[in-house]
Amino acid sequence: MPKYFEVDGKEMDLKPGAIGSHIKAEINVITCRTQITKNINLLLGRAGKKLAGFICTPLAASGITLTEEEKRLGCVLVDFGADITTVSIYKNNHLQYLNVIPMGSRNITRDLVLPVKGWNFYDTISLKWDHQIVATRRKPGSRLNIAIADENDEEKPDNIETMTSGKTN
Q: Can you tell me the distance from the alpha carbon of 95 to that of 62, in angstroms, rounded to the nearest whole number?
A: 10
- The half-sphere exposure of 130 on its side-chain side, counting CA atoms within 13 A, is 0
CATH architecture of the domain 55-118 equals 2-Layer Sandwich (3.30)
Local confidence pLDDT in tens for the 169 residues of the chain: 667 778 888 887 766 777 888 888 888 788 888 898 999 999 999 999 998 988 888 889 999 999 999 999 999 999 999 999 999 999 988 888 999 999 888 888 877 776 655 555 555 555 554 444 444 444 555 555 555 555 555 554 443 334 444 444 4
Q: Which long-range contacts (CB under 8 A, 24 or more apart) does 38-43 make?
A: none
- 8 A C-beta contact, residue 131 and residue 111: no
Q: What is the pTM of this model?
A: 0.53
Q: In DSSP terms, which residues pair with 75 in a beta bridge?
A: 90
Q: For residue 8, what pLDDT is reported?
A: 87
Quick one: DSSP state of residue 157? G
Q: For residue 15, what pLDDT is reported?
A: 67
Domain boundaries, the chain: 1-53, 55-118, 119-164
Q: Can you tell me the distance from the alpha carbon of 42 to that of 38, in angstroms, rounded to the nearest whole number?
A: 6
133 sits in the region (left: phi over 0; alpha: psi -120 to 50; else beta) called beta
Q: Can you tell me the distance from the alpha carbon of 28 to that of 1, in angstroms, rounded to the nearest whole number?
A: 5
